[in-house]
Amino acid sequence: MLYRITNIITFLLLAGLLCLHNLWQPVAWWVFVMLLFVYVSLLVWGSMDVRAGFYMPVTCQVPTQQKVVALTFDDGPLPQFTPQVLDILQAHKVPAAFFCIGKNIPGNEGLLKRVYEEGHLVGNHSYSHHFWFDLFGAGRMLEELQQTDTNVQQVTGQRPLFFRPPYGVTNPNLSKAVRKGGYFALGWNIRSLDTVIKEEGPLLERITSKLQPGSIILLHDSAAVTVQVLPALIAYLHSNGYTIERIDKLLNKPAYA
């Protein structure tokens, strides 16, 4: 694990500098500051880049040369856009994965049931998706994941095994919670930015310009532009020889416990 390796290397460098400073030759203070700066920078990068796998294993692309991709949707179920996304997927006979926020399930049980019964994967995206989720302790993180599991299980009868970190941020506490809960962490290699880009053309260009075999595409069933671009995206994928499969099938991993 990169986090552990980084800690070991930093400790050895610090110990070496201290020995040098105390036993042979004084070391300038800025050398210690620089070491600390590099260390903290690596921790921040490892936290923010889900593809780094810095603190925990996170699958962000399918290892294949075949032209297959997976569509994933975060933040539902939501009555405004999730039904429209489902209608489009159903019309094109395309499977996807929906990473649900647990607090969005009460009141939208019928919508979640439709997601499941129409053959899409239901994944865990935490219960609150709280802005400060990444500062929670491991125990509280695990409680959030388990609370979402309970809500999903009450509707579908299944406990999700696939988990996507809120905001794509990872840290040692989340690693511990995921490991203890037995989840499979899934990231992405194409971040559509459909919560930021509001026009269909630029959004489609951003996604298609990054396409490659095994891509995992991050979308949200909480944005109007996603509904607008989805038919064009599916058409582009098909016209360029890509097959859209459910992510658990591509990875040969069980979706539920």
User: What pLDDT, in 10s, does the model give residues 141-198?
Assistant: 999 999 999 999 999 999 999 999 999 999 999 999 999 999 999 999 999 999 999 9
pLDDT of residue 17: 86
What integer pLDDT is reported at residue 25 of this predicted model?
Answer: 84
Residue 63 contacts residue 183 (beta carbons within 8 Å): no
Nearest to 147 by CA among 98, 96, 104, 97: 104
Cα distance between residue 175 and residue 181, in whole Å? 10
Q: What are residue 243's phi and psi, to 5 degrees?
A: -105, 140
**HEC per residue, 192-257:** CCCCCCCCHHHHHHHHHCCCCCCEEEEEECCCHHHHHHHHHHHHHHHHCCCEECCHHHHHCCCCEC
220 is catalytic: yes
Match 């040369």 to its residue by tokens. 65
Looking at the chain, the whole-number percentage of residues with pLDDT higher than 70 is 100
Catalytic residue among 120, 194, 220, 248: 220
Q: Of 74, 194, 221, 248, which one is the catalytic site residue? A: 74
CA 163 – CA 212 distance, rounded (Å): 23
For the beta carbon of residue 3, count every other beta carbon within 10 angstroms: 20
- Give tens-digit pLDDT for 42-101: 999 999 999 999 999 999 999 999 999 999 999 999 999 999 999 999 999 999 999 999
37 phi and psi angles, rounded to 5 deg: -60, -45
* Burial environment of residue 13 by CB neighbours within 10 A (0 to 12, 13 to 18, 19 or more): middle
| Active-site residue flag, 21 | no
Cα angle value 230/233/235 (rounded, 5°): 110
Q: In terms of DSSP H, where are the helices of 49-137?
A: 82-92, 109-117
DSSP string, 87-110: HHHHHHT---EEEE-GGGSTT-HH
CB 68 within 8 A of CB 245: yes
| Residue in the block written with tokens 């511990």 | 176
DSSP 136-156: S-HHHHHHHHHHHHHHHHHHH
The confidence score (pLDDT) of residue 2 equals 87
